[in-house]
């Protein structure tokens, strides 16, 4: 329950940054926070309160957590890092041509 509340708060904070902020870097930071909130929610939702899914031969299967969501989230974290690196590269290029990171200014320059 408290995990769901924290997830909603973090997700809305990230979404607020993307909607309102006038700085492309701050928008990427908001995107990172949204990503982190979703990963956190998924890990806490599938946590059964049991042991970590690494055995040394003595544990039995019913004592272990679910390893499948953890593998999915591991994939998601790496992909999130590469996409945010690509977004930041696009920001560098935009700044090189327009000398600005404000999306409104950049939009005005490209329309004219």
Partner 1 sequence: MIILKYLLLIFVMATAYLAITFEEELISIIFLSIFSIILTTLYLIHNAPDVALAEAVIGAGLNTAIFMTVISQVREGKDSIFREDD
Partner 2 sequence: MSKTKHIFAVLILSLLGITLLVSLSKLPNQFEYANSIYHHVVNNSITETGSLNFVTAILYDYRAYDSLGESTIIFGAVSGIVLLLSRKTLPVSSHGLSFIVKRTFGMLTPFIFLFGIYIITHGHLSPGGGFQGGVILGAISIIFSIVYGSEFDYKRYSPTTKTLLETSGALLFIGLGFMGILLGGNFLMNLNILNAEVGSLLSAGSIPFINIGIGFKIGAGLAIIFYSMIQKTFKEEVDL
Indicate which of partner 1, partner 2, none lies near residue 56 (CB less than 5 to 8 Å, by partner kind).
Answer: partner 2
Q: Binding residues for partner 1, per CB under 8 A?
A: 2-3, 6, 9-10, 13-14, 16-17, 21, 23, 25-26, 28-30, 32-33, 36, 39-40, 43-44, 47, 49-54, 65, 70-71, 73-74, 77-78, 81, 84-85, 88, 91-92, 95, 99, 101
Report helix, strand or coil for 64.
strand
d(CA 18, CA 29): 9
Indicate which of partner 1, partner 2, none lies near residue 57 (CB less than 5 to 8 Å, by partner kind).
Answer: partner 2
Indicate which of partner 2, partner 1, none lies near residue 50 (CB less than 5 to 8 Å, by partner kind).
Answer: partner 1
Residues 94, 24: contact at Cβ < 8 Å?
Answer: yes
| Max Cα distance, the chain (Å) | 70
Query: Which residue, 47 or 110, is less far from partner 1 as judged by CB?
Result: 47
Specify the long-range contacts of residues 71-79, CB closer than 8 Å, at least 24 apart.
Answer: 72/42, 73/39, 73/42, 73/43, 76/35, 76/39, 77/39
Q: Binding residues for partner 2, per CB under 8 A?
A: 1, 4-5, 7-8, 11-12, 15-16, 19-20, 45-46, 48, 52-57, 61, 64, 66-68, 70-71, 74-75, 78-79, 82-83, 85-86, 88-90, 92-93, 96-98, 109-110, 112
d(CA 38, CA 8): 9
d(CA 111, CA 45): 46
What minimum distance in Å lies between the beta carbon of 86 and partner 1? Answer: 10
């Amino acid at each position: 329950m408290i995990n769901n509340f924290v997830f909603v708060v973090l997700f809305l904070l990230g979404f607020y940054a993307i909607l309102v902020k006038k700085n492309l870097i701050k928008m990427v930071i908001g995107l990172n926070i949204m990503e982190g909130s979703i990963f956190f929610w998924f890990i806490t939702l599938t946590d059964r309160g049991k042991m970590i899914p690494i055995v040394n031969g003595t544990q039995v299967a019913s004592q272990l957590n679910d390893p499948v969501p953890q593998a999915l989230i591991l994939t998601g974290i790496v992909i999130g890092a590469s996409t945010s690196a690509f977004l930041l590269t696009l920001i560098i290029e935009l700044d090189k041509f327009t000398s600005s990171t404000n999306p409104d200014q950049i939009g005005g320059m490209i329309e004219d």
